[in-house]
Amino acid sequence: MSLYWQALTPPPADRYVYLRLVDSQGRVWAKTDAPPVMGLWPVTRWQPGQIIEDVHELPLPPGTPPGEYRLEVGWYDPQRVSLCLPPVSRRDRAAVCCWVKCRSAGSPYRRRRFARPHRYPPGSQRPPRGVRVAPATATTGDLLPLRLAWREAGSLLNLGAMPNNYALFEWRQNGQTVAPTEQLDPLPLPIEEWGRNALLLSQHEVIVPPTLAAGRYELTVRLHTGSDPAGEPFTLGSVQVDSPPHQFDLPKTALPPFGPAQLDQGVNLAGTPCSQKIQSLISPFTGKPKRP
């Protein structure tokens, strides 16, 4: 990618250029950070009005799902932001973005096949690029960012038109699923649209259930049709879970809502810890009697 920069005034310090490929849910699929012009021409030497040509590459990991992505381009002060992390402050960055479409390199095939997370070679110290396994420790309520690589693993007879387009995550202990801990996530691309022998990456945020007791658990994943599991579970790792004390009961000081309390399907507002002073201000507008 060729970028063209024009300095209106000489920057007071060096800058780094970043590129990010981001999906509609804000997940980063590819990123790169580098000084402009490969560091051969520091921005402190740029002259006002001068046009600088700057070339960068953004390699896409094999298995990146086809679709529309937002390409973010900008720069930041490396002294204020850690290298290889997206800028976190508008004061430290400048950015532009555009939308790009990524296509699959594989060819579609007709026979349906089981898919499973791709195992990396035995004895290797690291998984393939783009794959992120479960951490060794976690706390209840944590979100575990996972990257999985999927590949066909054999024919599935008499499956018919059953779509296995979901990944089911389960927490297990002593070989048994701890209920209710299941999490169902859609795959980024239906299996029938995969190319033969193609690799597909998927990103997930798996929640450590708040109801888990402290102990060691196996985090597994398997394909799912949306109504029934398919195939065998695949162990992503063994996680030591810490469970600090939680309070799930409604506080005694909480007041019931005055009006409709349904926020979303299956989600109701149980109460609010508003003070009596705030309630005295709300009551005249709601037409409801003041609550003690």
Q: Which CATH number fits domain 2-102: 1.10.3470, 2.60.40, 3.30.360, 2.30.30?
A: 2.60.40
Residue 177 tokens, joined: 């699923």
Give the model's pLDDT for residue 189.
Answer: 84
Give the model's pLDDT for residue 184.
Answer: 93
CB 223 within 8 A of CB 166: yes
d(CA 81, CA 144): 24
Query: What is the torsional sign of CA 180, 186, 191, 196?
Result: negative
Give the model's pLDDT for residue 215.
Answer: 94
d(CA 75, CA 77): 7
Reduced to 3 states (helix: H, G, I; strand: E, B; else coil), residue 285 is: helix
Task: Return the residue matching tokens 């990524």.
Answer: 102
Domain ranges of the chain: 2-102, 113-242, 250-292
DSSP 195: B
Reduced to 3 states (helix: H, G, I; strand: E, B; else coil), residue 30 is: strand
Q: Is residue 149 packed enough to be buried (19+ CB in 10 Å), middle (13-18) or exposed (0-12)? A: buried
d(CA 17, CA 38): 10
Q: The domain at 113-242 falls in which architecture?
A: Sandwich (2.60)
**What does the CA dihedral 148, 152, 158, 161 come to, rounded to 10 degrees?**
60
HSE-up (13 A, CA, CB side) for residue 238: 5
d(CA 95, CA 75): 7
d(CA 41, CA 26): 33
Shared fold status for 2-102 and 113-242: yes
For the chain, 292 residues long, give each residue's pLDDT as a single digit of tens: 888 888 888 777 788 899 999 998 889 999 999 999 988 888 888 888 889 899 999 998 888 888 889 999 988 888 765 544 444 444 445 556 677 777 654 433 333 333 456 544 433 444 444 456 788 999 999 999 998 888 765 544 433 445 678 999 999 999 899 988 889 999 888 777 776 677 788 999 999 998 899 999 999 998 888 888 887 888 888 999 999 987 778 887 787 777 667 777 778 888 776 555 555 555 554 455 444 4
